[in-house]
Every structure is written in structure tokens, then in C-alpha cells.
A and B are shown apart, each in its own frame.
Chain A
Amino acid sequence: MHMADALLAPAVAATMYVASGSVAGVSIHKLKKDDEPQKLPVMAVTAALVFAGQMINYTIPGTGSSGHMCGGMLLSALLGPQAGFLSMIVILAIQCLFFADGGLMALGANVWNMAFYGCFVGYYLIWRPIMGSRLFGEGKGAQRSRIVLASVLGCVLTLQLGAFSVVLETSLSGITELPFGAFLALMQPIHLAIGLVEGLVTAAVLLFVYESRPELLQGVTPVSGAESKRSLKATVAILAVIALLVGGGLSLLASSNPDGLEWALFGNAEEGYSENMGLDEEDYGVSSTAAEKACAIQEATSFLPDYAFADNDTPVGTTVSGVVGSALVAGVALLICLAGGFFRKKHSKI
């Protein structure tokens, strides 16, 4: 979900920097007020661990594929939302600086999409309320179930929010011609699956921590109680049933309404796009029939351009002389490279 610089307009990037920066400022203030200097090395080591942990492949049972962990929920469950947020910033900064994963200018947006939702929304809306509740009853087993539920719900929700933001930011930047709704319809389901896997991995890690050192988890009061794993299995079963219902429902909807997906992809998309972007284009796709739609889609997906020049006056034109000039520029760049290499070789000979 790391966005590159090219996907953002400077104004959007700056806005996201301001947003993420303010949250970081508030977090730093809170940590300073708490005055727990021993937390700094814990944050650094945990952040480093999550950074490395993101590279682990987790095999998803029953499928040939594997999943990963992003870490926002894990960090806020271990360190609290503020410290977790700052740790995520640092992880994203290292990924951007040393691995070109995400861009320098897009860092603000990436922090927002991945760290803010994961740490703050995930913690205050999901983790703390669920862990503080009496859901599933008393005792260790219930607490385990709450950890699983909070992790899965938290990861799914925060990834959905993150994916939504990616779409919103890209669309606002005017980068893609892909209509807002279609882009959304593409991103959200993918991230539903990703979130589910990430949630289960996060739950597994947190459960392991809970068994050995429950005091490490934020908002969890260790209980000594009857050992029963049944409720844990029950939780997983409940989650599986929900997943099946949602998945089954969606596919049922799709099959009973053959152009449902197409509608989601294109028809509704146009509508959403126009509304959201404040643009009023031709209203095709909004109220047309399936046949018309199929035609429109076919047209929309044909790669070759119409042989009629659009009568729009393009603000910045790509002209033939521009193309020739660009070729010259590329040539000059190549020459600089060659010259540099030549001088280096000469230099090393001396």
C-alpha cells in the first residue's frame, strides 16, 4: 500500500504531511508528558522487529499463497497508540529512504494511510473497547477470544480505511483516469482479504505474547482463570462463518445479477466519480441498460484511440517538436552518463 511520489499531487502530499505531522506532534507531546524514558529503546527495538517481521511469509492454510503483516495494530497493542504511531513513522521512513518503498514526498500520506488508522483508529475504536469489555465472559479463554476478535476486526477496518485513503488521495491528485468508484471497487475487496490474513497473523503473535507475558499488552489486565481453549476455537469459528457469509453473499449477488460487478466497476463508478470529483461528464453508465453498458465497457477497454482529435484545448500540449526535443534531452542525459563513466575510468587509471 506504499504510495510513490508520482501518485500524489504536491498539494495533496502537503496536506497529508500536515495531518500526519500534527498527529506526530500530539503523540510526541503525550509521550514527553508520560516521561517514560525506558520506552524509547523498547519502541526502537519493536519497530525494528516489525520492520523485519514484515518480510516473513505466512502460509495461508488451504491456499497456495502467503500473507504478510503490516504491523500498525501489533505496535499499538504492544506500545500504545502514540508510541506505536511514532514507531510506524520510523519504519515507513526507513522503507522509503533505504528501500524506495514509498516516496519521500508521499511519506506523509503513507504515514496517514498505514500508521494513523492502524494505531489510533485501531486502538481507540477497536482494541481498547473490545479488550475492556466483558465480551465472551470472564477468564483467560474469553480474553484470548477478545484478542483474536480485536486483532481481526482492527486490521480489516484499518486496512479498509487505508485503501480508501489511497484511492481518495490518488483521485484527488488527478493522477489516474480510472474512475473513483471503479478504483475503489478494485482496492477494497483486495484489502479485505489482506486485512483478514494480517488480522489473523497479528492475533497469533499477540496470543503468543499473552500466554507468556500478558503484562506487555496494552489495556489488558492479566487474569488467572480456568484454562479453556474452547472459546478460542469458537471465536475463530464465528469469524470463519462471518467470512463465509460475507463472501458467499457477495458471490451470490454477483451471479444473480450478471452485470452487478460491471455495474460496480463502471456504472456506479461514473456516478460516484462525477459526484466526488465535482465533474459532470456524459452521463453514460448511470441509467443505461445492461446491453448498452456492455457496449460502453467494450468501448472503454479498447486500447486504440479514436481517430478524431478531441476538440479540447489541451492546457499543455505534447507537440511533435516537443517529442523531438525530448529525444534530444534523452541523448544529452546518455552523453552525461557516458562522459561520467569515461572520466571515472581515466581517473582510476591515474
Chain B
Amino acid sequence: MNKMEKALHELAEMDDLAAQGSPIHRLHPAAKLLSTIAYIILTVSFHKYDLTGLMPMLLGPVLLFQLSGIPVRTCFYKLRIVLPLVMAVGLFNPFFDRAPLLQLGTVAVSGGVISMLTLMLKGVFCLMASFLLMATTPIDSLCAALRKLHVPGLLVTLLLLTYRYVGVMTEELAVMTDAYHLRAPGQKGIQVSAWGSFLGQLLLRSMDRAQELYASMLLRGYHDHFHYADIRPFRLPDGLYLGGSILVFLLLRFVPVAALLGSLFVR
């Protein structure tokens, strides 16, 4: 399986997850989007040493994962993309910030270690939240929600069309890549003599494709704007979810839950 096929597989997987029908899936996409953004902002806003304050934020996504019937582990595959840069940045902290912040028995933990862990957990939590959004919301519903939130129509339509053709183009390139490597055994990538023509060929064909696509739009009465299929109204449960989830996130953010819990057991 080459890289493009893997990407297609990932896309298909997200589509499958989003097509399920849990209570979370049925919520209005705008409510989910806004709640996710609130969660991410609150999570990221924790102080770099506030590892214990950050921990309870985990409860939000974990609970929602369970409610939506999506196993938490499905999102860990995506961590391979998020973590490297976060790690690269975070790994330096223990070297530069060595003032101990915490004494656990005989082991002193430095501020750098704490801030590194905090940073990584933030990365993981934010990933969980945005993964959950996309795993419970089909792209077309999300686009309809974006329109409702007054994101310009041109941009939303472009997103919708591009998403559709990402599948088509990735598939074509997957086939081309296989065809190339079948005739060039032992090469790891595209050789310099084919740098231009490999993508260039497809690019020229794509221009013709775009023309045909435009014709197809025109012939079906397109003028100026797209109608989005999903116009599900924003109902009371959606509002309750949005308000409730933000309230819970705020509580988790500003009440030191972990410290309170711990103080029940340790003085």
C-alpha cells in the first residue's frame, strides 16, 4: 500500500465513523464545532506548569467518545502526525528549565519536565477533541454549519468540491505511483528526470477535468451559489449540548479538580 492509498483509507475510515448514528452524531454540527473550539482554547490556555490542572480536561473527550460509540484508540494512529513537532519543541524544555518544581519521594521533577508533559498532553487532548468532531460529523453537514456561521460561501463551496476531488486525485496518483515503481524497481521516489512530468501530466488532465466539471455544474442549473443539502434546524437539545459542554469545560478549567480530589487522600 503506498502513501496515497493509506491516505484514502484514512479518509474512508473517517467517513465510516461519521456515518454512524449516536446521539452525538445527531447533534447540530455547529454546536459540535463551537463546543470543540471552546474545548481546545480552554485546554491550550492552561499554564505550562499546570499539569495537574490539565489532567481533568481528559474527562471531556473520553466521555464524549463513549457517548458517540467511537473507540478512543481509533484516534491514536493520528498522533504520529501531531506529536513529532510538539515533541521536537517540548523535548528541549527539560534541558533549559531545570529548576525543580516537585519532590516525589527522593526524586525531584524539574519545571522543564512538567512543562514538556503538559505540552504533550495538550497536543493529545486537542487531537482527541478535533478527531471526535470529524468522526461524528460528515463533511457536508460541517460545510452547511460553516455557512450558517457565516463563513463565506465561496470558501465553503471550495472546501466541499476540493474534498470530493481529493479522493479522485489521490486515487489517480496512487495508481500512477504504482505504475511508476513497477517500471522503476528499487527507486524510493520519483527520479529527477520525471519530477516535472509526473505531476505535470496529471495537472494538465486536471484542467480538462475542471472544465468538464464546470460544464456539469452549469448544465444542472448552477449560478452563483450552492445549495447545501443539510438544513437541519438548530434545536433545543443542540443548544443545551453547546451550553452544557462549555459549562463543564469551564468548570474543569477553573476548578482544580485533580488537586481537590487528591487532597482527600493526601495532605
Contact = CB atoms under 8 A, between A and B. Distances in A.
Contacts of A300: 95-96
User: Which of A6, A98, A303, A341 has the largest count of B CB atoms less than 10 A from its CB?
Assistant: A6
Given A28-B154, A318-B51, A87 B102 contact: no
A304 B262 CA distance: 27
A319 B154 contact: no
B153 to A, nearest CB: 9
Interface in B207-224: 207, 209-211, 213-214, 217, 222-224
Interface string B64-106: 0111010110010011011001100110111111111111100
A242 B67 CA distance: 59
Contacts of A330: 55, 58
Contact of B10 (A99, A105, A216): A99
Interface stretch (B23-31, B157-165, B227-235, B237-245): B157-165
Contacts of A64: 188
A203 B114 CA distance: 45
A5 interface: yes
A142 interface: no
Contacts of A43: 158, 162
A2 B262 contact: no
B173 A55 contact: yes
Given A38-B214, A61-B192, A176-B93, A209 B49 contact: no
Contacts of B92: 176-178
A339 B66 contact: yes
Given A208-B200, A323-B262, A49 B95 contact: no
Contacts of B89: 7, 170, 175-176, 178, 183
Interface centre among A43, A170, A312, A336, by most chain B C-beta atoms within 10 angstroms, is A336
Contact of B199 (A100, A205, A322): A205
B52 A323 contact: yes
Given A333-B58, A344-B69, A318 B49 contact: yes
A46 B161 CA distance: 11
B196 interface: yes
Those 5 A-B pairs whose CB atoms lie nearest each other, nearest first? A322-B52, A325-B262, A208-B200, A340-B66, A325-B258
Interface of B: 3-4, 7, 10-11, 14, 36-37, 40-41, 43-45, 47-53, 55-56, 58-59, 62-63, 65-67, 69, 71-72, 75, 78-79, 81-82, 85-86, 89-90, 92-104, 108-115, 119-120, 122-123, 126-127, 130-131, 133-134, 139, 142, 152, 154-155, 157-159, 161-166, 168-170, 172-173, 177, 187-192, 195-204, 206-207, 209-211, 213-214, 217, 222-224, 256-263, 265-267
29 contacts: A7-B85, A10-B45, A25-B152, A31-B154, A44-B164, A49-B206, A51-B166, A53-B173, A86-B158, A94-B166, A100-B78, A103-B82, A178-B89, A205-B196, A209-B204, A300-B96, A302-B98, A305-B99, A306-B98, A309-B100, A310-B101, A319-B102, A320-B102, A322-B52, A322-B259, A323-B102, A325-B55, A325-B263, A336-B62
